[in-house]
Amino acid sequence: MKIFYCRIGWMSSYRGCSTEKPINGGLYNKDNIGHEVYNYLGYNGRYYGFVEPGRNSSIHIDRLGARKNDNSVNDILVVWVASNPTTGGQYIIGWYKDAIVYRKLEKVPDDAMSIRTLKTHNFYDIYSERVTLLEEKDRIFQIKGMGHSNIWYGNEEVDNTVISYIDTYDKKLDDRIIKIEKDTSELLGQEKEAVVKTRINQDIFRKRLVMRYKHCCLCSVNNEKLLIASHIKPWSDSDSYEKLDMNNGLLLCPNHDKLFDSGLISFDDNGSIMLSNELDSINRVFLNVNENMNIIVDDDNAEYIKYHRENVYKV
């Protein structure tokens, strides 16, 4: 397995810059916002990553197995590394599996650009559909040997320990998904989603949403026994990263959870509620929804909200 190490700025989510910007990661990030800010803002399961190889430099993909005239090389394990702004040291923050690494910068497709607020950030040099991002508290694997370069082609000793670490982490993640999906192989549609929803509400996914929101995103219900972790982009439509991404969740009371899952409510780009025509005025009163309600939509969840609005919401 060919491994390619890429140093970028330190962020929590890499889904945009409404609440944060990259820290460290080179001189560019001191006065600007590095393009890695969108490394984990996927579009329909496609992720367009960026690393700055260095001034007047490019990625030497021949060292990753490419031929002289190739523009790209496939099946690379790309390991993203960043300097912890609190403790120092270079740590793994995530990875792309089965990645395509390009010799030169490519233009991000228009559909993927439609959910980016920074329209100048429209280049990438690494692509993948199998991605993992570690939470900040889980970024404990330190990488030594990169020196001052933003890119590194590794060595056998480091590569072997990194592969073992990643395999172990991914297995635990896969086991969580398998446990949640257990006994649902013959179920379809809403029936499978209902079983998954029950199990996801016994998972750490829900605990993280409770810690983030404290109460229903739409009302003041704060009894934890009544609060439900609701996927924005349905489980069946999500890739393995999106399935357990906290940003793909809202904490809702039973009434609002049912309305959201049924597509009878959704939200616009500003977070204002959208009420389906299928929801009459009487039921709006009984279910405690009105046109003045809103949630917080930011770079972290905007892609998921857009998906729900376009694919789940019933106009």
User: pLDDT tens per residue, the chain (315 residues)?
Assistant: 899 999 999 999 999 887 788 998 887 888 889 999 999 999 889 999 999 987 767 899 999 999 999 999 999 999 999 999 999 899 999 999 999 999 999 999 999 999 898 999 999 999 999 999 999 999 999 998 888 889 999 999 999 999 999 999 999 999 999 999 998 888 788 888 899 999 999 999 999 999 999 999 999 899 999 999 999 999 999 999 999 999 999 999 999 999 999 999 999 999 999 999 999 999 999 999 999 999 999 888 988 999 999 999 999
What range does the domain containing 284 cover? 189-311
Does 206 share its domain with 258?
yes
Does 221 share its domain with 275?
yes
Final residue of a domain: which of 125, 142, 173? Answer: 173
Q: How far apart are CA 185 and CA 216, in angstroms?
A: 31
Does 57 share its domain with 108?
yes
DSSP letter string over 52-106?
---TT----GGGGT--TT-SEEEEEEEEEEEE-TTT-SEEEEEEEEEEEEEEEEE
Does 152 share its domain with 298?
no
Does 164 share its domain with 16?
yes
Final residue of a domain: which of 144, 173, 202? Answer: 173
Q: What confidence score (pLDDT) does residue 56 get? A: 62
Q: How far apart are CA 227 and CA 214, in angstroms?
A: 9
Determine, yes or no, domain membership for 178: no
Determine, yes or no, domain membership for 193: yes
Does 8 share its domain with 125?
yes
pTM metric for this prediction: 0.89
Determine, yes or no, domain membership for 183: no
Beta bridge partners of 80: 6, 94
Determine, yes or no, domain membership for 181: no
Final residue of a domain: which of 146, 173, 200? Answer: 173
Map residue 216 onto helix, strand or coil.
coil
Does 253 share its domain with 201?
yes
Number of domains in the chain: 2
Determine, yes or no, domain membership for 180: no
Do 229 and 254 meet the contact criterion of CB atoms below 8 Å apart?
A: no
Determine, yes or no, domain membership for 212: yes
Q: 189-200 and 156-181 are packed helices; what angle lies between their axes, rounded to 10 degrees?
A: 110
Does 164 share its domain with 283?
no
The CB density around residue 197, as the number of other CB atoms within 10 Å, is 19
Does 164 share its domain with 17?
yes
Determine, yes or no, domain membership for 299: yes
Q: How far apart are CA 52 and CA 109, in angstroms?
A: 19
Q: How far apart are CA 102 and CA 294, in angstroms?
A: 41
Determine, yes or no, domain membership for 284: yes
Q: What confidence score (pLDDT) does residue 260 get? A: 97
Does 194 share its domain with 119?
no
Does 147 share its domain with 257?
no
Does 70 share its domain with 107?
yes
